[in-house]
Structure formats: C-alpha cells, structure tokens
Amino acid sequence: MTKIALLDYGMGNLHSASKALAAVGAEVSITNDPKIIQAADKIVFPGVGAMRDCMAEMRAQGIDEVVKDAVFNKPVMAICVGMQALFTESLENVRTPCLDIIKGQVIKFDELWVDEAGDEIKIPHMGWNTISGMDLSHPLWQGIDDHTHFYFVHSYYCAPEDESVIAATCDYGQPFCASVIKDNLFATQFHPEKSHDDGLRLLKNFVEWNV
C-alpha cells in the first residue's frame, strides 16, 4: 500500500483529501512530522486561504523546506493554494514571495473578462468547470477524458513562465493554467477530492504513479 504524507500546516482541506486518498487505496498520514514525511512514498500538499497566511504557516512549521526537498526525492501532488505556493510569487496581498519551485506568478482574475454569454465573470471562480489540453497518454490522466468537469474555488490563477509545464487548461473568460506536471511534481488548481468519480480517478492515478 502506498504511504501518503498529507501535509498539515493548518491551511488545508485535510479531512476530505484524506478520505478521498484512503478511498483509492492509499495509507494516509496527516502530518507535519519530518520523519513521517521522509518515510512516506509520496506527498500531497493541499492549501486553502490567503497566500500570505499559508506561506507564514509553512515557514513557521518548516513545511516550505519539506516541500522543496521532497520535489527532488519523491512524487508530490499539490492542490489549489498548494499549487499556487509552488510558484515564484503571488500578487495576492500586494506581493507574496512563494516557494519558487516553478518560475511564474499567481495573478488575480481580471474582473473585465467575460464568459461565453458576454457576462462579466464572477470572482471567485467557484463551482464545476471543464479542463482540456491534457496529454491523455500520461499515466496521471488515465481514465480522464478531455473536457472532464472538476470543482474549482479560487480568485487567483497560476501563470508559469515556461508554458511547457502546463498539463491542462480551463476557460473562465480566458484560458488559464489548471494543472502542471514537472518531472515528479503534479499540481491541480481544482480540487480532485471534491470532484466525485473523476477526482477519485485522478487521485488513484497519482497513488499508482511510477515516476
């Protein structure tokens, strides 16, 4: 059974994520203990809330260094604000330095963007939306169809400098990065743990992913 360390720094949707990972066959430890994290096969890095608060808690508990170390040693999956924290900086709270594992910024949705009906988008982007542009031959997307619906809750989106890391996009007035894959790092702006069967399938793919 794959051992997953679900990182606990006080800013994640831990119960839902833990339950979903267990449902697809993982042995889950909710933890900020470096020894347990080092012994895990894989890491899931969640996050909700304001970026400044998330980064402050990560640094206070040493989770920032844990993640930086882990991306060189084992598969890591980041979700929502966890994905945003991987980038160089977020423009939330004026400007918040992040982990700088992926070069790029986290930017607020433009209130002037309009949807297909010509109406201004609502911020936050909340609810079900489709993703597309995935390489469906990649193990992480096995069983996932193009234009599958996933659940989003966010006001900011990631803009990587190197667009080759973008693994899926979503359209909300304009296309934005919904997922990245870089070596053994996988991240989603949407919440797989809240996305029913397709979300569980995606988590199962991560649990079974051999990098």
Which of 54, 80, 158, 177 does the annotation list as catalytic? 80
Instruction: Compute the distance between CA of residue 45 and CA of residue 61 in angstroms, rounded to an integer.
Output: 14
Look at residues 159, 186, 165, 170 and name the one whose alpha carbon lies nearest to residue 133. Answer: 170
CB 178 within 8 A of CB 169: yes
- Alpha carbon 7 to its chain centroid, in Å, reads 13
* 170 among known catalytic residues: no
* 125 among known catalytic residues: no
* 54 among known catalytic residues: no
CB 2 within 8 A of CB 26: yes
Instruction: Compute the distance between CA of residue 198 and CA of residue 173 in angstroms, rounded to an integer.
Output: 24
The residue type found at 52 is R
CB 132 within 8 A of CB 145: no
Instruction: Compute the distance between CA of residue 174 and CA of residue 157 in angstroms, rounded to an integer.
Output: 11
For the annotated catalytic residues, the residue numbers are 80, 191, 193
